[in-house]
Amino acid sequence: MDYIFIDTESTGSSTVWDHITEIGMIRTDSNLNIKDTWEMRCRIKDGVVPNLGALEVTNFTVKDLTQSNYSHFQMVEAVEKKLKDWGKIIVFAYNGQNFDYPLIQKTMYKSLKPPYILNTGGNKQGDILNVIRAAKLINSEVIETPISDSGNPVFKLDRLMKHEGAHGALADSHAMLSVAKKVYEKSNSVWKCSLLTLSRADSTDIIIKNKIFCQLQWFYGRLRKYLVHHLLFHPIYEAWSQCWDLRWRPEDYFKLDHENLKKALKKSPKILRSFKTNKSEIILNYKHALDENTYKEIGIEELKRRAEILSSNLEFKQRITKILQEIHDERISLINEPEKKLFPEEMLYTNFAKPEDTKLMKIFHQFKWEDRIDLIDKFKEERFSRLAEKLIYEEKPNILPESRLKKIKREIAERIFSTDKQNWTTLPEFYRQIDEKRNKYENDEKKMKQLEEYDEFAQSIERKYESA
pLDDT for the residue numbered 337: 63
| Confidence at 340, pLDDT banded by 50, 70, 90 | confident
pLDDT for the residue numbered 257: 97
Give the model confidence (pLDDT) of 101-111 as tens digits: 999 999 999 99
Provide mean pLDDT across the span 143-153.
92
Whether 142 shows a pLDDT value over 70: the answer reads yes
Describe the crossing of helices 427-440 and 445-465 by its angle, rounded to 10 degrees: 170
Provide mean pLDDT across the span 432-438.
96
Whether 164 shows a pLDDT value over 90: the answer reads no
| Confidence at 426, pLDDT banded by 50, 70, 90 | very high
| Confidence at 332, pLDDT banded by 50, 70, 90 | confident
| Confidence at 336, pLDDT banded by 50, 70, 90 | low
Measured torsion, CA atoms of residues 306, 307, 311, 313, in degrees rounded to the nearest 10: 10
Whether 88 shows a pLDDT value over 90: the answer reads yes
CA distance 15 to 5: 19
* Residues in Cβ contact with 62 at an 8 Å cutoff, skipping those fewer than 6 apart: 453, 454, 456, 457
* Residues in Cβ contact with 186 at an 8 Å cutoff, skipping those fewer than 6 apart: 135, 139, 141, 142, 143
The CB density around residue 218, as the number of other CB atoms within 10 Å, is 14
Whether 224 shows a pLDDT value over 70: the answer reads yes
CATH topology (fold) of 2-188: Nucleotidyltransferase; domain 5 (3.30.420)
pLDDT for the residue numbered 220: 83
Provide mean pLDDT across the span 6-25.
97
Same fold, 2-188 and 196-334: no
| Confidence at 242, pLDDT banded by 50, 70, 90 | very high
Please name the CATH architecture into which domain 196-334 falls. 2-Layer Sandwich (3.30)
CA distance 267 to 249: 15
- Contact (CB, 8 A) for 26 and 175: no
Q: What percent of the chain has pLDDT over 70?
A: 99
- Contact (CB, 8 A) for 461 and 47: yes
Domain boundaries, the chain: 2-188, 196-334, 350-465
Degrees, nearest 5: CA angle 388-390-395: 95
